[in-house]
Structure 1
Amino acid sequence: MRTHGLTLLSLLLLAVLMLLVEAKKEGRKRHGSKASTEESHALGKPGKEPRSQPAKHLIKGKFVTPDHADCRWAVTKQEEGLVLKVECTQQDNTFSCFFTGNPTSCLELHKSSVYWKQIGRNLRSQKVICGDAKSVLKTRVCRKKFPESNLKLVNSTLIRIKKPSQKLMEPSPMDTVEVTTSSNPEKTQTMTTKGPQCEDEDLENQRKAAQEYCGEVWGSLCRFFLSMVQGSSC
């Protein structure tokens, strides 16, 4: 009887142990399936599209021009090279311009802080900021070996397309009048507008004949008749 009881007890203990092992396995399976489910949910969620963030400025600064314009400048990166934008305010006017260049090769050999410091100094020294189409920002550290590092003006709100200037018509020689003045007033000559006087000899003879034969009273009448008969060249 004792042997039979011990056998039953050992079988019960073995069954309990097997149940415990199975319970642990089920717990592990459930935990693993839950984790995989959560992971699948996380992967299955449609990802939010990243918002287009504004371009970050690599470097920026501000300065005041000699004609008292408050300006700000900032540099952004593009596919090839960099873009430097300048925005200025002068009294009630606001204007801007863009410079482009590619200092990448130069900045690999030299400090970027030195390069941008010289660019900012060049900006401040511009006589007409954003107003010269041939404006170029150069640096001592790069311009000799790396000419592509120079920043050239490519667009400006101050520069418009100018029509070719028309040539001024030069005055013709007939329109030019030369005026000469004499320092000595005694030598100045006055121009007369009177026409040439008539000096016909026949007319003088008629006057003399009329005075001799007709007298002073009838002289004019006699001269009239004589002029009709003889005629006059004047």
Structure 2
Amino acid sequence: MSLRGILALLLFLACLSQLIFTAESIRGARRKLERQERRGDDNISVLKGKFTTKDETQCSWVARGEDKYIMTVTCKPGNRNGFTCKYSAKPATCTEYKSNSKGYWKQIARSVKKQKKLCADPRAMIRAGMCKGAPLDAHFKLETSQTKPPKTEKTPITKDTTLPDTKSQCKERIDHSELAKEKCGDSWASLCAFLFTAIQSGDC
């Protein structure tokens, strides 16, 4: 093989090795990113549940978070429009939560079901009985108001019962002399004025 051929082969192999190295670097970076994403997802806990209220409203809740949890509650009351809202809490502020997290969520699930004004009362909290002495952050508090559509009120239609003042209208049309001259001419003005007056009296 000539020297030129050897140099061309070496150059080709160098380029090929560079391409392989670049491809492996891209794959490695992609795998690292996927591992980081998986670790991030593992830190986010998801709890959920369903229940039916006394008035047969079908509801469900989903709580997501790490330190702070956001609970989304959605209800569909029969044929009417449904509503949804969000509650927030920091369960870890309750010391009993670390040792019995399952018990905490069971109590929260029961508390959600017992709410009388779900998604409507900002003062009512979804409490866990095991965290009675814990800070208020340990219990779920309404964060966003309900999305239930507001009731529309019909504006009453008022009828105008005021009668027209016929006297004032008659006064405005009493003098017909000018109109009679315009319509009938000077020779017939008096007769036309008489006829206009008679018609005016009938209207009043």
TM-score, L = length of structure 1: 0.45
Q: Residues 69 and 138 from structure 1, CA distance in 2 versus in 1: closer, same or farther, beyond 3 angstroms?
A: same
Matched residues, percent identical?
24
**Residue equivalent to 1:83:** 70
Aligned mates of 2:87, 2:134 — CA distance in 1: 20
Q: Residues 111 and 44 from structure 1, CA distance in 2 versus in 1: closer, same or farther, beyond 3 angstroms?
A: closer
Q: Residues 111 and 157 from structure 1, CA distance in 2 versus in 1: closer, same or farther, beyond 3 angstroms?
A: same
**Residue equivalent to 1:72:** 60
Q: Residues 32 and 130 from structure 1, CA distance in 2 versus in 1: closer, same or farther, beyond 3 angstroms?
A: same
**Residue equivalent to 2:145:** 156
Q: Give RMSD over aligned pairs.
A: 3.8
Q: Residues 41 and 111 from structure 1, CA distance in 2 versus in 1: closer, same or farther, beyond 3 angstroms?
A: same
Which structure 1 residue ranges, 5 or more long, are not aligned? Answer: 1-30, 162-234
- The alpha carbon displacement at 1:38 in A equals 1.9
Equivalent of 2:105, from 108, 116, 123? 116
Structure 1 residue runs of 4+, over 4 Å off? 31-37, 44-48, 158-161
**Residue equivalent to 1:129:** 118
Q: Look up the SS of the partner of 1:119 in the other structure.
A: helix
Higher helix share: 2
**1:38 counterpart letter in structure 2:** I
Question: What aligned pairs does 1:3-82 form with structure 2 within 5 A after superposition?
Answer: 37-43=19-25, 58-77=46-65, 81-82=68-69
**1:70 counterpart letter in structure 2:** Q
Q: Residues 67 and 57 from structure 1, CA distance in 2 versus in 1: closer, same or farther, beyond 3 angstroms?
A: farther
- The alpha carbon displacement at 1:135 in A equals 1.7
Q: Residues 157 and 44 from structure 1, CA distance in 2 versus in 1: closer, same or farther, beyond 3 angstroms?
A: closer
Aligned mates of 2:26, 2:119 — CA distance in 1: 53
**Residue equivalent to 1:173:** none
Q: Residues 39 and 147 from structure 1, CA distance in 2 versus in 1: closer, same or farther, beyond 3 angstroms?
A: same
Contact 1:143 1:150 in 2 (8 A): no
**Residue equivalent to 2:92:** 104
Q: Which has the bigger relative contact order, CA under 8 A and spacing at least 6?
A: 2
- The alpha carbon displacement at 1:83 in A equals 0.5
Contact 2:48 2:62 in 1 (8 A): yes
**1:82 counterpart letter in structure 2:** Y
Aligned mates of 2:108, 2:27 — CA distance in 1: 49
Larger radius of gyration: 1
- The alpha carbon displacement at 1:132 in A equals 1.6
Q: Residues 75 and 127 from structure 1, CA distance in 2 versus in 1: closer, same or farther, beyond 3 angstroms?
A: same
- The alpha carbon displacement at 1:46 in A equals 11
Aligned mates of 1:159, 1:37 — CA distance in 2: 59
**1:135 counterpart letter in structure 2:** A
Question: What aligned pairs does 1:125-204 form with structure 2 within 5 A after superposition?
Answer: 125-157=114-146
- The alpha carbon displacement at 1:34 in A equals 6.7
Q: Deviations over 1:167-193 (max 9, x none)?
A: xxxxxxxxxxxxxxxxxxxxxxxxxxx
Q: Look up the SS of the partner of 2:85 in the other structure.
A: strand
